[in-house]
Amino acid sequence: MLREIKILSPTGHLGFTPLEKDSFLTGVSKKPDYIVADSGSADIGPYYLGADMPCSPEMWQRHDLELILKASRDLDVPMIIGSASDTGTNKGVDQFVRIIKEIARENDLHFNLAYIYSQQDKNRIRRILNEVRVEGLDGFEDLNSQILDRTDNIVAVMGPEPIIHALDNGADVIIAGRSSDSSIFAAPLIREGISKATAFYAGKVLECASFCAEPFMGKESVMGYVKEGEVIVEPMHPKQRCTVASVASHSMYERVDPYYERVPGGVLDMSECVYEQIDHRRTRVTGFKFIESELKIKLEGAGKVGERCICIVGFRDPYLIKHIDKVIEWSKKKVEERYSDRTYQLYYHLYGINGVMKDLEPVRNPSSHEICLIVECVAETAEDAKEIATLAARNTFYARLPEVKGTAGTAAMMSDEAILTKPAYEWTVNHLIPVSDPLELFDVHFEDV
């Protein structure tokens, strides 16, 4: 009979904000067999992958890595970090490897390090397109050369196999490029002989740490106790509980179909899961299944669209708020008259009137006594973006509405300058590529530290 394996999950996104130390150390005191944390997300949008930049300050990343590395070495158990530095590009992996080495040197730590690259060469992908179909997900057309031309960076999302390969070769510390969230937890479990069904379910429920517990407390640690066919989850913060509701709801979120989670090489079927409250703070889950499928690896890519500028305007006049659609219509018209020879995208974000959910907002007749308009322009040059955003914002002052007799107080700009922001990027690659070997797109390196 396989032994129970304990996995400590200290954070759902390493470095995004610093993890909470006390509950992490409580988890460490319970002597986990592995400490595993994800550091990446697509929720941060395409800019960071396209520009190959981290979205988290290095000081916060270092804080989390130092705590985990020291605990891992004190316990002499492996630590596994997925999707290094938010995007999992080679630059992100190199950054985390550098930080790990610096912490090791400062603390006189010695271990076997493995780091795994997942970034893809566009020309290599272009050649593969001649041999296989690379199918688009979520409405994306199949991958082609034109899409690659407007893509700046591509990463492949690894399954458990590259991490298992690293563990098989004696790695104590693993820094992985872009990874499937659940795979970084599933990898050590599969290597220990646990089935994929149990391993991937454990990964699914542990990937966001304390998000599977209640009440809501971000950045607290949780422990998974895993045996074949059974996963028990326990929060490490004394005021949190893992309840049937909190664990089940976390297992089901972030997908169109709450019962199925697609992972490299198959699908996790949670449609017959059984959730049991075994005491005040712990929930046991059984009944998960795994359906094997053709091995395909997900590719993610992003490309630059243009330069971006915003202006912020406030409205308090109830008559103008009532007729805000006509104000925006006037603003668009004035921009079109002057910049019809330019290529640009212009957006009006109305916070107070469907600014967050847009057309999905169920409140049909919102009534706000004041609203905030953010005018956003994306253009080929920063100069164009700045001019167009400014003209669009300033014309909200001059919209010609019936019954308006005064000349003042129609709008208030937070600042009279247009604010140049990060360039605009778009997701260009969201595709599945068939492979014959799960290590095919990944380079695993080893080093004695």
Q: What is the pLDDT along the chain (449 residues), one digit of tens a residue?
A: 568 999 999 999 999 999 999 999 999 999 999 999 999 988 899 999 999 999 999 999 999 999 999 999 999 999 999 999 999 999 999 999 999 999 999 999 999 999 999 999 999 999 999 899 999 998 999 999 999 999 999 999 999 999 999 999 999 999 999 999 999 999 999 999 999 999 999 999 999 999 999 999 989 999 999 999 999 999 999 999 999 999 999 998 877 789 999 998 999 999 999 999 999 999 999 999 999 999 999 999 999 999 999 999 999 988 889 999 999 999 999 999 999 999 999 999 999 988 888 888 888 887 889 999 999 999 999 999 999 999 999 999 888 888 777 776 678 888 788 999 999 999 999 999 999 999 999 999 999 99
Q: What's the pTM value of the predicted model, to 2 decimals?
A: 0.93
Angle at 155 (CA atoms; ends 85, 299), nearest 5 degrees: 135
| Assigned token pair, 182 | 């659940």
Nearest to 313 by CA among 334, 296, 327, 294: 327
Is residue 174 within 8 A of residue 194, CB to CB? The reply is: no
Three-state DSSP at 132 gives coil
324, HSE (Cβ side, Cα atoms, 13 Å): 27
Q: What are phi and psi of 315, to 5 degrees?
A: -130, 140
Is residue 167 within 8 A of residue 111, CB to CB? The reply is: no
CA–CA gap between residue 416 and residue 203 (Å, rounded) = 49
> What is the sign of the dihedral through the CA atoms of 380, 383, 389 and 391?
negative
Exposure of 430 by Cβ count < 10 A (0-12 exposed, 13-18 middle, 19+ buried)?
middle
Q: Which are the contacts of 289, defined by CB distance < 8 A and separation ≥ 6?
A: 197, 268, 269, 272
Is residue 120 within 8 A of residue 156, CB to CB? The reply is: yes
Q: 170-208: buried (b, 16+ CB within 10 Å) or exposed (e) per residue? A: ebbbbbbbbbbbbbbbbbbbbbbebbbbbbbbbbbbbbb
